[in-house]
């Protein structure tokens, strides 16, 4: 069990159909009052795409803001913070605390 887990710029490379399971696993590894910080795509709806912005084709996906919030609340965790930290990019990060 951990007091702190970070998943910065990694969750969006997990296949969309697996993101909820992966996040629940991360949250389940937290001690009570433990913190998880993760980043993801800050859009309204779930989605996925590929692009070559970094040279090679890379896969990206997101549960969307409401999808992330649903996973947080169903995982015995409290949503503490959401920030669009690279405006105007839709890059967001979340701070989550285990109840």
Q: What is the pLDDT of residue 36?
A: 98
Q: What is the DSSP letter of 71?
A: H
Q: What is the pLDDT of residue 54?
A: 82
The structure's pTM equals 0.92
- The correct answer on CATH 3.40.50.720 for the domain covering 2-98 is no
3-state secondary structure of 18: helix
Tokens of 99: 């109840």
Q: What is the pLDDT of residue 53?
A: 85
pLDDT tens track, the chain, 99 positions:
999 999 999 999 999 999 999 999 999 999 999 999 999 999 999 999 999 988 999 999 999 999 999 999 999 999 999 999 999 999 999 999 999
Contact 70, 62 (CB under 8 A): no
Contact 19, 61 (CB under 8 A): yes
């Amino acid at each position: 069990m951990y007091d702190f887990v970070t998943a910065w710029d990694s969750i969006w490379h997990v296949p969309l159909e697996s993101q909820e399971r992966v996040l629940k696993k991360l949250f389940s590894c937290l001690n009570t009052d433990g913190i998880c910080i993760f980043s993801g795509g800050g859009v309204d709806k779930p989605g996925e795409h590929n692009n070559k912005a970094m040279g090679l084709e890379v896969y990206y996906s997101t549960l969307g803001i409401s999808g992330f919030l649903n996973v947080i609340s169903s995982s015995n965790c409290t949503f503490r913070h959401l920030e669009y930290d690279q405006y105007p990019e839709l890059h967001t990060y979340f701070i989550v605390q285990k109840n």
